[in-house]
Structure 1
Amino acid sequence: MLPRFVGRLSLADVVTTANASLGFVAVVVAFQDVELAARLVLLAGIADGLDGVVARYSGGSKVGPYLDSLADVASFSVAPAVLVYATASATWTVSFDALTARAVAAMVLPALFVAMGVVRLGMYTAYDTADEYTEGVPTTLAATILSAAVLCGITSAALLLAATGAFVYLMVSTVRYPDLLARDALLMGVVHGLAVLFPYFYGRTFPWAILTLALAYLLAGPWFYWRGGRVLAKWYGNA
């Protein structure tokens, strides 16, 4: 008897499930090699963008949007939360026997990040998939910033936890983030790939590049990308 999914999943769905698997592997290796885990999260980001491209050219399936959100829970909610916890626990003494303020912060903030990531992805699947924008910071963007920061050598537990705490709110905020144009998504994908393949090239150039681009979109996207992006979309025939 064949599995139930045979004949129902598309090639894009296979890429999506690979994304989820990368998230799991990132969690597994986070406590042995935090920078490798960060690279795996960034690689999952490439898979997340690739499944949309594959679906556009080869077709998707009815379960595609649900699989995409489920995979994102693994790769862009759980994996970056564990990444931050592993970094904090390597810097601070985190023990269940002595729950200091630092230990509580190191556990609670990543846990809230996962919770709000799940809520944000559920809201996205229910309300935003047909729109040209999404409300709240995308989990992919939050995960990219946290992972790129670690890959840049930023291992300050206080800084990473502060960023995690900010994303706890920003992911479920009502700030509207427009979808990236195809050319900009391609640029981000290329820089992602270079950061994964050559993370230490010339003073960690590529991780710093992806961190800079991601922060620029985080801070300026809702206010400036709408105007410039829409004009460019019409110019390129994508509006």
Structure 2
Amino acid sequence: MSLQVRRRLGAADVMTLLNATLGVVAMVVAVTVGPTAAARLVLLAAITDALDGIIARSQGSSEVGPLLDSIADVVSFGTAPALFLYAATRDAVSTLLPADIPLAGTVEILAVSAVPAVFVVFSLVRTVLYTIYVDEGENRPGIQNTLGASILAAGYLAGVTAPAVLLVGGVVLALLMVGPVSYPKLRARDAGLMGLVQAGGILAPTLGQRVFPRLLVLAALAYMTLAPRYYWGE
């Protein structure tokens, strides 16, 4: 039996696969190049995630599209941000641990991977429950994986690099992914504006006192705090 890849995958799925590819590259870059480059790649993956939705709405989605999109979200907005957190905080966490404690190497690994693991697990839980139990037209409980990952990445590019803030932020955002608050879908106009700001944050993150990543953080936090009550989406 053939998988019939060319017939069963559509244009939106190709963009979804690009999203996942960028997520994997971001993971590698996080541990080889550094968190700044990884943060930019996470934001680029978020743009491709938005584009696959636009293509799916205009050309139609394939039968496997929703599942493929969910898997890509876990890669790019669950695992990739977790590796980014690891790269951005590992040195600071390691220096806090006494060198003479029993099983020092094991304890260090557990310590530096604890918050990244929490972020991945909650992203995975959110994605699975959303895929199985939430229909397209229903309210969307919990913040989107993309939003949580974008806040972390944009915050870092905006200058929020203190390890304690990143770790606490990672845990808070992970918990909000499975929170009971429902979020509306962005209007196409607003999503386009966010995409332009994201592009600026990727291409010129330090321009004008880091204006693009700072604008992106402000917009994302405004949506996260105000949208459930004051924004009605599409």
Give the TM-score normalised by structure 1. Answer: 0.88
User: How many correspondences in the alignment?
Assistant: 226
Contact 2:81 2:149 in 1 (8 A): yes
Equivalent of 2:207 in 196, 201, 204:
201
Question: What residue number does 2:14 align with?
Answer: 14
Checking the alignment, whether the CA contact within 8 Å between 2:22 and 2:45 is kept in structure 1 is yes
Letter in 2 for 1:99: V
Please name the residue that 1:235 is paired with.
Answer: none
1:129 deviates by 4.0
The range that moved more, 132-141 or 78-87, is 132-141
1:28 aligned residue: 28
Distance (Å, rounded) in 2 between the aligned partners of 1:66 and 1:98: 36
**CA positional deviation for 1:105:** 4.7
Counterpart-to-counterpart distance in 2, 1:223 and 1:166: 20
Task: Pick which of 90-99 and 64-73 moved more.
Answer: 90-99
Structure 1 residue ranges (4+ consecutive) displaced by more than 2 angstroms after TM superposition: 1-4, 103-106
- Report deviation, 1:59: 2.2
- The residue number in structure 1 matching 2:113 is 107
What is the rounded CA distance, in whole Å, between the counterparts of 1:33 and 1:181 in structure 2? 34
Q: Of 105, 114, 132, which residue of structure 2 is paired with 1:97?
A: 105
Q: Which runs of 5+ in 1 are unaligned?
A: 230-237
Q: Distance in 2 between matches of 1:80 and 1:109?
A: 11
- 2 CA distance for matches of 1:178 and 1:162? 25
Check conservation: 2:15, 2:51, Cα contact below 8 A.
Answer: yes
* Residue 83 of structure 1: how far off its partner (Å): 0.6
Alpha-carbon distance in structure 2 between the residues aligned to 1:75 and 1:98:
27
Q: CA RMSD in A?
A: 1.9
What CA deviation, in whole Å up to 9, does each residue of 1:100-152 have, x standing for no partner?
Answer: 6xx64532121011011011011121233412531011110000000001111
Which residue of structure 2 aligns with residue 71 of structure 1? 72
Name the % identity: 45
Instruction: Give the drift of 1:19.
Output: 0.1
Q: Give structure 2 stretches of 5+ with no counterpart.
A: 98-103
Distance (whole Å) between structure 2 residues aligned to residue 110 and residue 149 of structure 1: 16
Is the CA contact (8 Å cut-off) linking 1:132 and 1:178 kept in structure 2?
no
Aligned residue runs from structure 1 range 50-65, under 5 A = 50-65=51-66
Q: How is 1:53-202 mapped onto 2 (pairs within 5 angstroms)? A: 53-93=54-94, 97=105, 99=107, 104-202=110-208
Letter in 2 for 1:77: G
Counterpart residue identity of residue 27, structure 1: M
Shift of 1:75: 0.3
Mean CA deviation greater in 119-128 or 158-167 = 119-128
SS in 1 for 2:6: coil
The equivalent of 1:232 in structure 2 is: none
Give the residue type in structure 2 aligned to 1:23. Answer: G
1:32-62 alpha-carbon deviations (Å, 9 max, x no partner):
2211110000000000000011112222200
Give the 3 Å change call, closer, same or farther, for CA 183–43 of structure 1 in structure 2. Answer: same
Report the counterpart of residue 234 of structure 1 in structure 2: none
Counterpart of 1:30 in 2: which secondary structure?
helix
Contact kept, 8 Å, 1:38 with 1:150, in 2: the verdict is yes
Q: 1:6 and 1:98 mapped to 2: Cα distance?
A: 46
The aligned amino acid for 2:60 is G
**Aligned partner of residue 154 in structure 1, secondary structure:** coil
Aligned residue in 1 for 2:4? 4
Post-superposition Cα deviations, 1:165-193, rounded to whole Å, max 9, x if no partner, equal: 11222111111011111111111111111
Q: 1:13 deviation in Å?
A: 0.1
SS in 2 for 1:6: helix
TM-score (structure 2 length as normaliser): 0.90
Answer whether contact 1:135 1:175 (CA < 8 A) is retained.
Answer: yes
Structure number with the higher helix fraction is 2
